[in-house]
Structure 1
Amino acid sequence: GASSMGGMGAGDADSAASAAGDEAAAAEVAANVDHVLVGLLYIARVLVQCGARLRVLAINEAINLHYVAFRECIMPRRDSNCGKCQSVASRRAAFGLVHELAVLFPQFLIRLVQRHYLTVLDENGSTWEFGYDPIQDSRAAVGYVGLYNPGCVCYGNSVLQQLFMTPRFRRAVLDAVDPAKDPRESVLFQLQSLFGWLQESERKCKDPRPFFAAFKDLDGNPTNVRVQQDADEFLSLLLDRIETAVKGLPQEAAITRTFAGKVVNKITGEKCGHVSDNQEPFQVLSVAINGHASLEEALSAHTAGEPLRGDNAYACGTCGHKVDAIKRLCIRELPPTLIVHLKRFEFDYETMLKRKLNSRCSFPEFLDLKPYMEATLAPETASDEAKAAAAAASHYRLVGVVVHTGTTEMGHYYSFIREDRAGGPTRGGAARGDAAAVEDVGRTGAMSRWLEFNDKTVRPFRFERLEAECFGGEDVTWVYDEATRQFVSRVTEKARSAYMLVYERETRR
């Protein structure tokens, strides 16, 4: 994080441990030998030798076989899937086949190099060349695909991974039939393409630029990938556009209801008892955290009653005159997946500048929202709809965190996501049932693990580090003091903290 620059912070050791874990996982993948593939490659090599001796192997067939061995097994095109040879043994066998073909047909060696090898250099640039490592360019060992960042789209990458890891939303998006005529300009189609790649690809990461080209700004221009934006604003705009795109489709209800809830502004006369309420839908619940040490405290303040008296008294339409009243915001309905936006950016009227709140604000793994609902806060005036909503499950479990590190002018977004093996994608490490996947058994009985999605990097995340990485507050770093010629500790504000929280309703309590 930005807070550890210039010295070693508490998170550096954990980062080193995570990097070591990544290397160990990659080594484990490289050590797993595909014996069937190795056997087929060796059989092909023997057949080539026999065919050459018996003069029954045509030169064109040899060239085609070389192309298959090189392009499909060893070094695939950048726009295709990873090569079939993922282990050291299988790559050794493939190179043996290529070598045998080159020895048997030396007159075509230059032609083969020009046709295939030089093409690789043209496609992939000098940085890739023959240093191609299928392990480094493959889907992460934990079983998921990252997102390439071509500039400053970390805000979008972190949010898109959260949406992809929401099974109900992901399935509905992939099942929808896009009515748009031009898929290049369709946000729905590009989101489907991106989700499909994240689900099926064996590559390390997906380039999201086609999606951002279709995701126009407010002036109708493609999103500038070199300009940083706010993750909360991006999410709200994306959900609005997806809802518009699926109007009338069978998946409309599933997509619109996944994150949709309702709040109500209630004004109740203190003496007359007359009630005025104004219901508003929400997809993201924004909560002010300035001056609050926890999410629960911030929600209590968010739903606390505000007296309307004196010059600020309420003009009661029924009474026909101003009366003292209580104004209160209540949650009326909750969605299956609740996204909470922690307002860490605010405008400072003293400096006339936007600033980031780095103060500590904790949040629980398990959240009970019943105390903040209309049926609890205003039971005497609550509607039947509100009472029915309160009777439904109001218990939620944390499944995702979007983190922001940095300042208002310059920063970086990334995500921590809890993988439920009962509902998430079953690919890679998740499908193999790795030991890391069986990290804890939640109240729902589903085995899960936490993962970090940081642009193209996807790696395990230890849940016990959540407080240090997401609550904000102060951090102790060690810096070298020139005067004393020794390392000294300094207390600074953490630049990294949770910006958005994703809670999933618990259905089994």
Structure 2
Amino acid sequence: MNTSADLKKYHGLYNHGATDYLNSVLQVLFMTRDFREAVQRLTNNNPEFIDRHLKDLFDDLRKGTARTKQILETLHIQRVNEQCDAAEYLEKILRLTSPDAAKVFHGELSNTTTCSECRAEMNRDGMFWYLPLPLVDSCSGVYSVEDGLEEFFKTSDLNGENQMYCEQCDTKVNAKRKNVLKHHPDVLILLLKRFDFSYRYMSFVKINSDVDVPYTVEVSENQKYELYAVVEHFGDLRSGHYLSAIKDQDDEDKWFCFNDTTVTQINPPFLDVQYVKSRSAYLLFYRKKETGAQESMVPTNGGSPTSACENYNRKS
């Protein structure tokens, strides 16, 4: 049940045309305490970073419904009535954020290839903001995030036409390749790749598959993460709508739906289940669980809401 205190605690963002894609990720950044506090510790107005504009926006959000005009200008968004990709602009924001704040989301991945003949290893390291999980290989019609992560980190064989050239062997050889997580970010972001190029239609299309979204995930070295935010997408590629469902970090029994200027408290999607089935989940935000943290006991059966934001009213 919503109380007056709950309704006044969080505020929405004005939609300047079709800027819901930006609003949805900005609300997640605001609700990510470590990131918000790092931005608000800003001691200078270094024009190289977007922190000062995020700080102003977060200050405004504490007081009431806020506008994103300065963020739009900083990101050079001029066509405000044009629908864009929330994941793309989340990455743009993080790339413009100071290292002290951005490190919350920064992970490091190593792509390791091992020659099957001489066992020589080639490592290609790189930083990442999110891990992309393709939905196109879902055979059952229901995609499992846990299976997707297992697929992402499993060892693959390079043979036949996919053989690699080994400098030590001086020839093409069979090899094995795998991704290794070298640095676990404080917040692990998973991108469900719902937008894929269709050769049938010769354009990008949206994949509306059901996805089993787990409350907790475990990645390499048994590091556990707990879901606290979901950016959802409704509609098709060019005329859709974004919103976000986010857990209150001060009171983890409460979740809120942020739909532009409207903020409503919703039923916790994982109240009685370990995972939910969703056709709208797009970006998943998982917070690292501290070693030894007590796990909540929930049944393993999954729920089947179409959206975490049950009170979402589709815009006409």
TM over 0.5: yes
Kindly indicate whether the alpha-carbon contact (under 8 Å) linking 2:214 and 2:276 is maintained by their aligned counterparts in 1: no
Q: CA deviation at 1:140?
A: 6.5
Q: CA deviation at 1:180?
A: 4.3
Larger RCO (alpha carbons 8 Å, 6+ apart): 2
CA distance in 1, matches of 2:8, 2:215: 23
Name the residue aligned to 1:462.
267
List per-residue Cα deviations over 1:202-229 (Å, max 9, x = no partner). x3x112123212322xxxxx43321111
What secondary structure, in the 3-state scheme, does the structure 2 residue paired with 1:355 have? strand
CA distance in 1, matches of 2:202, 2:146: 30
CA distance in 2, matches of 1:412, 1:471: 19
Q: CA deviation at 1:324?
A: 1.1
CA distance in 2, matches of 1:360, 1:470: 10
Name the residue aligned to 1:299.
149
Q: CA deviation at 1:465?
A: 7.5
2:189 is the counterpart of 1:189: no
Q: CA deviation at 1:305?
A: 2.6
Amino acid aligned to 1:403: E
Q: CA deviation at 1:332?
A: 2.3
Residue of 227, 231, 240 corresponding to 1:411:
240
2:121 is the counterpart of 1:229: no
CA distance in 2, matches of 1:224, 1:296: 37
Give 1:487-506 correspondences, 5 Å limit: 496-506=279-289
Kindly indicate whether the alpha-carbon contact (under 8 Å) linking 1:142 and 1:460 is maintained by their aligned counterparts in 2: no
- Ranges of 4+ aligned residues in structure 1 off by more than 4 Å: none
Q: CA deviation at 1:333?
A: 1.8
2:10 is the counterpart of 1:151: no
Compared with structure 1, are the counterparts of its residues 418 and 174 closer, same or farther at alpha carbon in structure 2 (3 Å cutoff)?
A: same
Give the total of aligned pairs: 286
CA distance in 1, matches of 2:135, 2:129: 19
Residue of 345, 359, 373 corresponding to 2:209:
359
Name the residue aligned to 2:66.
206
CA distance in 1, matches of 2:153, 2:70: 41
2:135 is the counterpart of 1:329: no
Name the residue aligned to 1:113.
none
Q: CA deviation at 1:277?
A: 1.2
Q: CA deviation at 1:264?
A: 1.4
Give 1:91-490 correspondences, 5 Å limit: 141=7, 143-180=9-46, 187-199=50-62, 201=63, 203=64, 205-216=65-76, 222-243=77-98, 252-253=99-100, 255-292=101-138, 293-369=143-219, 373=220, 390=221, 394-421=223-250, 447-464=252-269, 471-472=277-278
Kindly indicate whether the alpha-carbon contact (under 8 Å) linking 1:288 and 1:302 is maintained by their aligned counterparts in 2: no
Task: Note the residue ranges of structure 2 that are not aligned, 5 or more in a row.
Answer: 294-316
Kindly indicate whether the alpha-carbon contact (under 8 Å) linking 1:158 and 1:402 is maintained by their aligned counterparts in 2: yes
Rg larger in structure: 1
Task: Note the residue ranges of structure 1 that are not aligned, 5 or more in a row.
Answer: 1-20, 30-138, 217-221, 244-251, 374-389, 422-436, 438-446, 473-495
Kindly indicate whether the alpha-carbon contact (under 8 Å) linking 2:42 and 2:52 is maintained by their aligned counterparts in 1: no
Normalized per residue, the structure richer in helix is 1
Compared with structure 1, are the counterparts of its residues 368 and 142 closer, same or farther at alpha carbon in structure 2 (3 Å cutoff)?
A: farther
Normalized per residue, the structure richer in strand is 2
Kindly indicate whether the alpha-carbon contact (under 8 Å) linking 1:358 and 1:497 is maintained by their aligned counterparts in 2: yes
Q: CA deviation at 1:272?
A: 1.9
